Amino acid sequence: MIEVQELTKAFGDVKAVDHISFTVNKGEILGFLGPNGAGKTTTMRILTGYLPATGGTAKIAGYDVFDDSMQVRRRIGYLPENPPLYLDMAVGGYLDFVARIKNVPPGERARRIDAALEMAKITDKRDELIKRLSRGYKQRVGLAQALVHDPDVIILDEPTVGLDPKQIIEVRHLIKGLAGSHTIILSTHILPEVSMTCDRVVIINHGKIAAVDTPENLTAQLKGGERIYLDVKAPEKPLRDALGQVAGVRRVNLEPRGGSGRFSATIEVAPGQDVRSQIAAKVVGQGFELYELRGVNLSLEEIFLQLTTEDPAHKSAA
């Protein structure tokens, strides 16, 4: 649905977007993750036809965003970082205007405006002047305008910023509900958001792509394996030996818990193997007291910090 190849955007000498390539499949939700200034907004502006690229190509639904800009614009809904609102207008009037310029046929306009108000949960604000609304409601009006013409592709730039926690959850639900029938790109610097709502993640930094994958794969890829956490009571040396005997275990780290003889054990396992049952069997079989056992996924937070603060040239051997 969306194909980006070697996309580049330079402002003078500065490359805001530097040869990035990625695709988004129909019905997918792609997360664009990166710190401020990474190039997320610039990329979105290129996709929506607001900025022309310096190099590379971008296609939406098979149409080039520069050569066939009109075709692309008909098929996308876009919510910029600051929602583009006419403060003097009422919510309903504003959505009517947006529906008109998005080429919604006159007969369908009323229905689609109702639908958009409903989806953004602002039906009761229809006659309210936009300038009177709170930040959170303004954001929702912005969301409504991106949806009013039922576009195939929806591009959201930091859609949950400025919302309170309840509203954030609602918006994420809304976005997840739109997947399948719509293709969505959303950008954010809120890490949990990406693992919660997105099918795949593009991590971008300094205009370059640092990683593209599902949230789960990224986790596995980075750490090169799984970690297993144990809460077990046992003498230290025998415990260490026993754990080391389980096939697939690479490293064992034991942390004493108080003086009770219990240990918090963190075990690094080779990738692709789930050895939890073997470890459980081994521990219990040796007569140790097992209190807790669970697998630990490296959270996306740690990936992010690692990817964007680490200098690839100095990356230590895994």
**Measured from the CB of residue 119, what is the shortest distance to another protein in angstroms?**
19
Q: Rule CB under 8 A: say whether 62 interacts with another protein.
A: no
Q: Out of 49, 92, 207, 215, which residue is the one contacting another protein (CB under 8 A)?
A: 49
Contacts to another protein from residues 96-135, by CB under 8 A:
97-98, 100-103
Distance CA 213, CA 296 (A): 19
Q: How far is the CB of 168 from another protein (least distance, A)?
A: 22
The residue from 3, 8, 74, 278 that contacts another protein (CB under 8 A) is 74
Residue of 52, 180, 261, 271 that binds another protein (CB under 8 A)? 52
DSSP 8-class letter at 181: T
Supply the minimum distance, in Å, between the C-beta of residue 7 and another protein: 16
Check: CB of residue 239 under 8 Å from CB of residue 254: yes
Of 25, 37, 62, 84, the one binding another protein (CB under 8 A) is 84
Phi and psi (nearest 5°) for 5? -130, 120
204: nearest Cα among 17, 8, 10, 50: 17
28, 39, 41, 283: residue in contact with another protein (rule CB under 8 A): 41
Closer to another protein by Cβ: residue 145 or 187? 145
Which of helix, strand or coil describes residue 137? helix
Provide the minimum distance between the beta carbon of 50 and another protein in the complex, in angstroms, as a whole number.
Answer: 5
Q: Is 48 in the site for another protein (CB under 8 A)?
A: yes
Q: Judge contact between 120 and 44, C-beta under 8 A.
A: no
Alpha-carbon distances, residue 286 vs 112, 228, 246, 263, 269 (angstroms): 66, 18, 12, 15, 20
| Cβ nearer to another protein, comparing 78 with 288 | 78
137 binds another protein per the rule CB under 8 A = no
In the window 140-169, what residues touch another protein (CB under 8 A)?
A: 145
> For 5-8, which contacts have Cβ atoms below 8 Å and span 24 or more sequence positions?
5/56, 5/57, 5/58, 6/55, 6/56, 6/57, 7/43, 7/46, 7/53, 7/55, 7/56, 7/57, 7/58, 8/53, 8/54, 8/55, 8/56
Binding site for another protein (CB under 8 A): 11, 41-42, 45, 48-52, 70, 73-74, 76, 78, 80, 82-89, 93, 97-98, 100-103, 145
